[in-house]
């Protein structure tokens, strides 16, 4: 068993760092208000539903353009869309590395935006789309001419997705969709929404749910409002669908097997989010340790106090363990079907999400009053990562997945 990183990764990370310093740091410096204590206010259009300001999204687009031109943006994507076939292990190591650098335009997870993009929608399209759909969608999603949101959660159904109430009935050569979606992120700039709707079967059945490609400008597709959240700006829409009509062929994957598409999305995201959590946690730990060594109280460095040392020792130990779990799980994902290691994906994700929240909170405590201000990044890191203990499978749902494998429940 070899715990060294694959030979290609250390020089690749160094090359990536050089690109960030050369191309992205100067771009970030053009709008410092997006990254200092003003970041939440500068990014948020408070008079327009709390949506991201156009200037902020324009800078994100320029970052992605530069990253794509340099060959980084598509690193984890298939060669069929110009990617470099980066493995799950590659992506885990890269995302941890980028998050460990702290806040910056190179990797702003609040907007799921990075110089090395995490693009589960493209992966889903390449895996489940028809030849015609892949030709129409995959490249377009990478460059942004088509943008696909993800409509699974509903007002009365989140983790219990098999009980969703949105329906789609096949009438002639078209689906007629009725229902509602909640926290439908990215709708404000999406051209289409991937709407999961029951097309057959009974409530609670895993089969009978279909993933439909729905234009956001279709008659009957409405956005009453956007939810204001703990972390702003917000793009989490409430969506209603009233007799929305889409062609019968506008299905991603097989009719009645939409949850397979959704599972691909969540597994691709969960392990990479776990890696980002480890990186952000390590950043908080490193900053807290450095500050404790330089901060003098009662005539001594703060770091000599065991009350400061031991909580950080606990976090550093947890960080090392979760990092190894993330790497191991990513390695296995490269060699096995994702459902074969879904319990390990869940373990890594919920532990990493919890870890980064605890690390950000501890860093605030070590920094004292200064840590509580927006002049340090810990409140921003906490607010961002706290969402992942709920979204894409709450930690309770992920623990339930581990329990299913551990105790043999739900085995077919």
Asked if 106 contacts 98 with a C-beta cutoff of 8 angstroms, the reply is yes
pLDDT per residue as tens digits for the range 39-87: 999 999 999 999 999 999 999 999 999 999 999 999 999 999 999 999 9
Cα–Cα distances (Å) from 96 to 56, 138, 216, 322, in that order, read: 24, 26, 34, 12
Instruction: Specify the pLDDT at position 392.
Output: 79
Spatial CB neighbours of 289, under 8 Å, sequence gap ≥ 6: 303, 312
- Burial classification of residue 47, based on how many CB atoms lie within 10 Å of its CB (0-12 exposed, 13-18 middle, 19 or more buried): exposed
CATH superfamily of 148-252: Butyryl-CoA Dehydrogenase, subunit A, domain 2 (2.40.110.10)
Asked if 90 contacts 48 with a C-beta cutoff of 8 angstroms, the reply is no
Q: What are phi and psi of 196, to 5 degrees?
A: -95, 125
Architecture of the domain made up of 259-407? Up-down Bundle (1.20)
Q: What residue ranges do the domains of the chain occupy?
A: 9-126, 148-252, 259-407
Whether residue 411 is predicted with pLDDT greater than 70 in this model: the reply is no
The pTM of the full predicted model, rounded to 2 decimals, is 0.94
CA dihedral 60, 66, 70, 73 (to 10 degrees): 20
Sign of CA dihedral 213, 73, 91, 36: negative
Q: What is the CATH number of domain 9-126?
A: 1.10.540
Instruction: Specify the pLDDT at position 339.
Output: 81
Instruction: Specify the pLDDT at position 159.
Output: 87
Q: For residues 319 and 336, give the distance between their C-alpha atoms in angstroms, rounded to a whole number.
A: 25
pLDDT per residue as tens digits for the range 215-241: 999 999 999 999 999 989 999 999 999
């Amino acid at each position: 068993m070899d715990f060294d990183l694959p030979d290609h990764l250390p020089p690749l990370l160094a090359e990536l760092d050089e690109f960030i310093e050369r191309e992205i740091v100067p771009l970030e410096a053009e709008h410092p208000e997006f990254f200092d204590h003003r970041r939440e206010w500068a990014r948020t259009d408070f008079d327009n539903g709390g949506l991201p300001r156009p200037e902020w999204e324009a800078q994100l687009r320029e970052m992605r353009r530069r990253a794509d031109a340099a060959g980084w943006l598509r690193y984890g994507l298939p060669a069929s869309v110009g990617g470099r076939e980066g493995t799950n292990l590659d992506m885990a190591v890269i995302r941890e590395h980028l998050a460990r650098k702290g806040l910056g335009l190179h990797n702003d997870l609040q907007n799921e935006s990075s110089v090395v993009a995490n693009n589960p929608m493209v992966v889903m399209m390449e895996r489940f789309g028809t030849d015609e759909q892949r030709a129409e969608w995959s490249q377009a999603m990478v460059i942004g001419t088509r943008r696909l949101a993800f409509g699974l959660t509903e007002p009365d159904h989140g983790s219990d997705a098999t009980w969703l109430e949105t329906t789609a009935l096949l009438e002639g050569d078209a689906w007629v969709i009725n229902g509602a979606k909640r926290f439908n992120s990215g709708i404000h700039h999406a051209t289409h929404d991937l709407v999961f709707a029951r097309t057959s079967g009974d409530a609670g059945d895993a089969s009978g749910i279909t993933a439909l490609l729905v234009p956001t400008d279709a008659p009957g597709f409405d956005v009453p409002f956007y939810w204001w959240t703990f972390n702003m700006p917000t793009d989490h829409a409430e969506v209603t669908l009233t007799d929305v009509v889409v062609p019968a062929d506008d299905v991603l994957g097989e009719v009645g097997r939409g949850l397979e598409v959704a599972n691909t999305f969540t597994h691709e995201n969960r392990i990479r989010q776990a890696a980002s959590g480890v990186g952000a946690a390590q950043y908080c730990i490193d900053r807290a340790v450095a500050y404790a060594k330089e901060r003098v109280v009662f005539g001594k460095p703060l770091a000599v106090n065991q009350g400061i040392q031991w909580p950080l020792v606990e976090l550093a130990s947890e960080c090392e363990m979760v990092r190894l779990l993330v790497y191991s799980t990513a390695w296995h994902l490269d060699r096995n079907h994702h459902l074969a290691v879904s319990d390990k994906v869940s373990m890594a994700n919920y532990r990493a999400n919890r870890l980064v929240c605890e690390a950000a909170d501890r860093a605030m405590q070590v920094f004292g009053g200064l840590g509580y201000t927006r002049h340090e990044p810990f409140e921003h890191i906490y607010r961002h990562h706290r969402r992942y203990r709920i979204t894409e499978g709450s930690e309770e749902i992920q623990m339930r997945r581990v329990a299913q494998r551990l105790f043999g429940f739900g085995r077919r």
